[in-house]
Structure 1
Amino acid sequence: METTTEIWELRLYIAGKTAKSVAALSNLKRYCEEHLKDKYVIEVIDLLVQPQLAEGDQIFAIPTLVKKVPEPIRKIIGDLSNEEKVLVGLNIRPAAIVE
């Protein structure tokens, strides 16, 4: 039985409520619920409200997802609609299918 309950810290950079930003957040939440249930935190940073925060994670495109923990830090740009690409990018192994 696994004893480590590592919490995944994810940060999603957006710029307002654009279609891409809304899609990215929706997709991210869905993947997290499927593969990281109860083991994740999503911080959404709207760069229209807090533009100074883009510098810390070197954000050049919107939306951008940054995986802070567990390391290594990873970044994925776009609306996160390609689930396989997102899971591979974040190094998430799909949850085992229980029959």
Structure 2
Amino acid sequence: MNNSNQPQDSSEELIVESTEDFEEALAKLETQKYVLRLYIAGNTIRSMRAIQMLNKICKKYLEGRYEIEIIDIYQQPEILEKDHILAVPTLIKELPPPLQKLIGDLTNVDKVVIALDIA
């Protein structure tokens, strides 16, 4: 039986055995950088709303800890198949794991916050 604080596999699971471990894990969560990719289709109202909502959510919950890449599928159509994009707007959270994919204009803030695991 291994009682170390190290994850036993490639997941981000951490075994917390003391207050010090808990505080360390909490500090790590508070400094994790989020890498987000938003796929949009031109300057449509839905696309602009998704950009606006994502910026608003990130500023409120992830201030200074996020990176957003916005990809217009009209300008980069080859990326649709490569990244398995079936509808737009689509938000992909690449980091921290696990990878998450949300489809829609992101107006349901609670759903976005839960999916990004920032609540």
TM over 0.5: yes
- CA offset at residue 91 of structure 1? 1.4
* Offset at residue 3 of structure 1 (A): 5.0
Count of residue correspondences: 93
Aligned to 1:48: 74
Q: How far apart, CA to CA, are the structure 2 residues paired with 1:3 and 1:72?
A: 16
When normalised by structure 2's length, the TM-score is: 0.74
Map of 2:58 onto structure 1: 32
Q: Structure 1-normalised TM-score?
A: 0.88
Instruction: Tell me if 1:9 matches 2:64.
Output: no
Q: Which residue of 1 aligns with 2:100?
A: 74
Q: 4+ residue runs of structure 1 moved beyond 6 angstroms?
A: none
Structure 2: segments with no counterpart, 5+ residues:
1-22
Q: Describe the SS at the equivalent of 1:51.
A: coil
Give the structure, 1 or 2, with the largest relative contact order (CA under 8 Å, sep 6 or more).
Answer: 1
Cα deviation code 1:45-91 (max 9, x no counterpart): 00000011122321000100000000111011110001001111111
Please, which of 100, 104, 109 is the counterpart of residue 83 of structure 1? 109
5+ unaligned residues in a row in structure 1: which ranges?
A: 94-99
Share of identical aligned residues, percent? 44
Paired letter, 1:65: L
* RMSD over equivalenced CA pairs, Å: 1.3
What one-letter code is carried by the residue in structure 1 that aligns with 2:85?
I
- Higher helix residue share: 2
Q: d(CA) in 2 for partners of 1:31 and 1:59?
A: 22
Shift of residue 6, structure 1, vs aligned partner: 2.0
Which amino acid is 1:50 matched to? Q
